Amino acid sequence: MLNIFNKPYPFNDDLKHNSIIIFFTSLGVFVFLFLFQPFDINALPVREKYYLMSGFAVITFLALSLHLLIIPSLFPKKFSSSEWSIKKEILWNLWILFTILAGYFLLTNFLGTMKFGFSMVIKLVLTAVIPLSILIIVNHNKMLRSHLKVADELNKKLKENKSIQEKIVYFNSDYQKDSLAIKINSLLFIRSANNYIEVFWKEGGNIKNQMVRCSLLYAEGILKEHKFIFKCHRSYMINISYIDRIEGNSQEYKLFFENVSFPIPVSKNSVSKLKELI
């Protein structure tokens, strides 16, 4: 049961987001005190009243800035998501609550505006809980929105990739009987052969090929939307997903495909693009 507290928990290290939250949370403390005036603030002289309200807001600002901006920036490894856990998150928030509460206590003691009893301590605790609760809720919602957005994007990518893999590509021949239709994810490479192209694809564990009477330029046009299909040479188009290995010598690079007996050359102008794609 206690193992749940050791489970990973993503620490919110977005400094820009935290800075905004710290500012508005501190402002919220001032507004809360101004509107509801707990601790009998309304009975205080105007100057002392504003000293107290402003002091609470400043203490909140300084405490949150220290714990959410400064310390995580000084010790990034300690606060990385890989090192953070539910237990650490709870203890860290309790510590922040304690520092805010201690700051409130010292301020009121310094100003001498209030007498401390049990009820006053409870009121201070409740007031300190307000900024911390806001912080936890906002950070939780931010992470929830972020994770939902990422999950939605990944699901879309999965659907797109599945759709691409299942897509059939048609090579229409000048002679109808030579036309070819294959799944795009099975295509290995295409080789130009005079007025023909020779299409190589994988079917099961075998490599198959067929001549189609059309130009490589035509094949390039129908495959241009698929970024993993790359024209590496004036006579070859390849599926980079099936490259087994690359060899180079003083003259050129050559690509090797599994169970294919010959290498495929890479033109000098295509080397940088190939590196980028891989």
pLDDT for 163: 60
Looking at the structure, tell me whether residues 154 and 197 fall in a common domain.
no
Looking at the structure, tell me whether residues 128 and 221 fall in a common domain.
no
pLDDT for 1: 53
- Cβ burial, residue 256 (10 Å; 0-12/13-18/19+): middle
Q: State the Cα–Cα distance between residues 72 and 79, nearest whole angstrom.
A: 6
Instruction: Find out whether 201 and 182 touch, Cβ atoms under 8 Å.
Output: yes
Looking at the structure, tell me whether residues 88 and 147 fall in a common domain.
yes
What tokens does 21 get?
């939250």
Task: Check which CATH number belongs to the domain holding 196 and give it.
Answer: 2.40.50.1020
> Which of 147, 162, 177 is where one domain is finished?
162
Looking at the structure, tell me whether residues 140 and 201 fall in a common domain.
no
Coil, strand, or helix at residue 171?
strand
What tokens does 204 get?
């099961």
Ranges under pLDDT 70 in the chain: 1-2, 114-118, 140, 144, 147, 158-166, 250-251
Looking at the structure, tell me whether residues 156 and 172 fall in a common domain.
no
Looking at the structure, tell me whether residues 157 and 191 fall in a common domain.
no
Total domains in the fold of the chain = 2
Residue 58 belongs to domain spanning: 2-162
Element (H, E) at 180: strand 180-183
Which one, of 171, 204, 191, 178, lies nearest residue 239 by Cα?
191
How many Cα atoms sit within 13 Å of 142 on the Cβ side?
16
- Cβ burial, residue 28 (10 Å; 0-12/13-18/19+): middle
Strand partners, 256: 245
> Which of 100, 135, 162 is where one domain is finished?
162
pLDDT for 158: 64
Looking at the structure, tell me whether residues 209 and 107 fall in a common domain.
no
pLDDT for 26: 92
Q: State the Cα–Cα distance between residues 219 and 223, nearest whole angstrom.
A: 6
For 224-274, how does the pLDDT look when each residue is reduced to its tens digit (9 = 90+)? 888 889 899 999 999 988 899 898 776 678 999 998 999 999 988 888 888
Instruction: Find out whether 12 and 143 touch, Cβ atoms under 8 Å.
Output: yes
pLDDT for 140: 66
> Which of 131, 162, 193 is where one domain is finished?
162
Looking at the structure, tell me whether residues 154 and 198 fall in a common domain.
no
